[in-house]
Amino acid sequence: MSSSPIFHRARVFRDPVHGLIPINAKDEFLSELIDTPEFQRLHRVRQLGVASMTFPGADHSRFCHSIGVMHIASRILEVLRNRYHDSSIANLVDKHRQTILAAALLHDIGHGPFSHLMERAFKSSKDHEVRTMDMITTSKGSVSQILKRNGINPDDVRQVIDHKFPFLFLQDIVSSQLDADRMDYLIRDSHFAGVDYGVFDLEWILNCFCVGSYAEDNTDPERWRLCLDKKRGLQAAEQLILARQHMSLQVYYHKSTRRWEAVFLCLIREAARLAAENALPANTPELVVLYLKDRGRVNHEQFLFLDEPLMFTAFALWRTASKPEHQWLNKLASGFLNRSKVLERMDLQEDLPSHLETLLRENLNKAFGAENSHWELDQGEFTPYKGEDPDTKKGDPEGYEDSVLATSILLSDTTTTLRAVPVAEVSAIFKTLIDQRFRLRRLFCDPKIKIEVDRIVRDVLTSNQLVLHS
């Protein structure tokens, strides 16, 4: 029995996506981690920010997602353990199993309220991974104590999150284009959004996981990668990447969701501007004032209660602010809470090229100030698959290898003897997807500045030479 002050028995979670997720008595440390304030906070941070404005069911939390990621990671480890029993791979799996499970469970604990959306509001809150790493190793919280008490080095868990873990194939389970995080969020987000786009053959992908080597030196276990069985896994991987593309287009970048994100961003920027001038409504919760003043920088204890219920409390209070200087704040908060129109959407070609987008942003900055609370130029852009075009292999072999090692999905004959193959070298679908870029640029503004914004958009899109070159 552990020396933990709280005794945990084997435990099981009922999950709408994976069914029963058991935590065995031998993995009691996971139960202890789940019961920390750091992890329980994730109940109060939703996975998809404001997506439920568009998809009413999409209010699921990072708590259930994180449990799901831990579950998938556990199953991948089991597949590898069974496939390579009594080998050096199995020994490495056994040795680092707890570290990988802890990293999978804790990978999101640094997310601020409204997840990625808040990271767009403040640059200083940009990297939730950095806060996650700090929360894992800091002596101030309970996480590092639990890890140490169970013989897990918090620095090792940190390394996995930081992409610095010495064994790539184990790190890949938590952080790669086929990681447990992605596999859980696609299915979970699809389920809760009420769509069928995020569906792929999870069971078959799990069954196809193996280890391979892309590096010239295939004897170095530190350079082995998590791969898919070359004979069986390619179609399931294609299906997963297409699921991601369809979820991005249909859910994550949905135009209504992006509109409410723009309202949210303007609201937070307006509140931050008022906070800097000590002019927020007097009844604003103290922690929200501090958070906005420091533009996302708060200490560990404060972060534990910085969550969405607190932010919604502030929005509700701002909705009733009556002073003239709070007029715009009031309007944005009311619009956000009541889902009533606050910002105008401007006509903009959604695949606007980068140079025109940059010029437009520079001109808007000049006219109204950067990071203004009266406009938002949404530069949504994604690629379904981050890989390297095999055609660049001849031109820049080292650059190609660097990039492939960093990002590509690899196929292996399940041994480390034959060199693993990047999927884009054998799959026309992957090769095509490398060059696919989806741009969804949208401009939203306060109706009061619409005429001026219209003029700037027209100037940029019609009256300069750049357009002629496009």
Partner 1 sequence: MNILIQLGSLLRTVTQIEGRKKLQKMVHILQEFGVPFDVSYGYHFYGPFSEQLQDSLQSFQHDGLIHETPYHQTSRFAADAKLLELLELVDATSPPAWAPFAIELNAKSPRDLEAISTLLYLEKQTGNIVGSDAVDETFEKLKPNLKELLPKAKSTLAEFRVTFSPNKLAA
**Site residues (CB under 8 A) for partner 1, limited to 245-264:** none
What minimum distance in Å lies between the beta carbon of 337 and partner 1? 32
What minimum distance in Å lies between the beta carbon of 395 and partner 1? 3
Which residue is listed with tokens 């945990």? 8
Burial 294-331 (b: 16+ CB within 10 A, else e): bebebeeeebbebbbebbeebbebbbebeeeebebbbb
Residue from 59, 94, 127, 196 that binds partner 1 (CB under 8 A)?
127
Phi-psi region of 223 (alpha: psi -120 to 50; beta: other; left: phi over 0): alpha
At 365, is the secondary structure helix, strand, or coil?
Answer: helix
What minimum distance in Å lies between the beta carbon of 50 and partner 1? 24
Q: Does 239 engage in binding with partner 1 (CB under 8 A)?
A: no
Q: Does 14 engage in binding with partner 1 (CB under 8 A)?
A: no
Which residue is listed with tokens 């908060």? 333
Nearer to partner 1, 50 or 174 (CB): 174
Task: Select the span of 43-51, 278-286, 295-303, 351-359 touching partner 1 (CB under 8 A).
Answer: 351-359
What minimum distance in Å lies between the beta carbon of 177 and partner 1? 11
What minimum distance in Å lies between the beta carbon of 355 and partner 1? 5
**Site residues (CB under 8 A) for partner 1, limited to 380-439:** 381, 383, 386, 392, 394-399, 402-403, 405-407, 435, 437
Cα separation of 95 and 177, whole Å? 24
**Site residues (CB under 8 A) for partner 1, limited to 128-167:** 162-164
Cα separation of 132 and 106, whole Å? 7
**Site residues (CB under 8 A) for partner 1, limited to 272-311:** none
Q: Looking only at Cα atoms, what is the longest distance across the chain?
A: 74
Record the tokens describing residue 187, joined without a space.
């299915």
Determine which helix (DSSP H) or strand (DSSP E) holds 349, and give its type and residue range: none
Q: Does 369 engage in binding with partner 1 (CB under 8 A)?
A: no
CA angle 290, 296, 299 (to 5 degrees): 70
Cα separation of 77 and 380, whole Å? 35
- Read out DSSP for 283-327? TS-HHHHHHHHTTT---HHHHTT-SHHHHHHHHHHHHT--SGGGH
Nearer to partner 1, 83 or 126 (CB): 126
Handedness of CA 111, 113, 115, 119 (dihedral sign): negative
Q: Does 123 engage in binding with partner 1 (CB under 8 A)?
A: yes
What minimum distance in Å lies between the beta carbon of 179 and partner 1? 14
In this structure, how many other beta carbons lie within 10 angstroms of the beta carbon of residue 448?
Answer: 11
Stretch 189-228: interaction string toward partner 1, x if CB under 8 A: --------------------------x-------x-----
Nearer to partner 1, 417 or 464 (CB): 464
Nearer to partner 1, 50 or 404 (CB): 404
At 382, is the secondary structure helix, strand, or coil?
Answer: strand
Which amino acid, one-letter code, is at 15?
Answer: D
In 248-285, where does DSSP find H-type helix?
255-276
Q: Are 212 and 178 in contact (CB under 8 A)?
A: no
What minimum distance in Å lies between the beta carbon of 352 and partner 1? 10
Residue from 362, 418, 447, 448 that binds partner 1 (CB under 8 A)?
362
Task: Select the span of 192-200, 226-234, 277-285, 460-468 touching partner 1 (CB under 8 A).
Answer: 460-468
Residue from 44, 293, 300, 361 that binds partner 1 (CB under 8 A)?
361
**Site residues (CB under 8 A) for partner 1, limited to 436-455:** 437
Nearer to partner 1, 26 or 394 (CB): 394
What minimum distance in Å lies between the beta carbon of 214 and partner 1? 10
What minimum distance in Å lies between the beta carbon of 233 and partner 1? 23
Q: Does 358 engage in binding with partner 1 (CB under 8 A)?
A: yes
Spatial strand order of the sheet with 344-346 comes to 344-346, 438-445, 375-382
Residues of this chain that interact with partner 1 (CB under 8 A) are: 123, 126-127, 162-164, 168, 215, 223, 353-355, 358-359, 361-362, 381, 383, 386, 392, 394-399, 402-403, 405-407, 435, 437, 464-466, 469-470
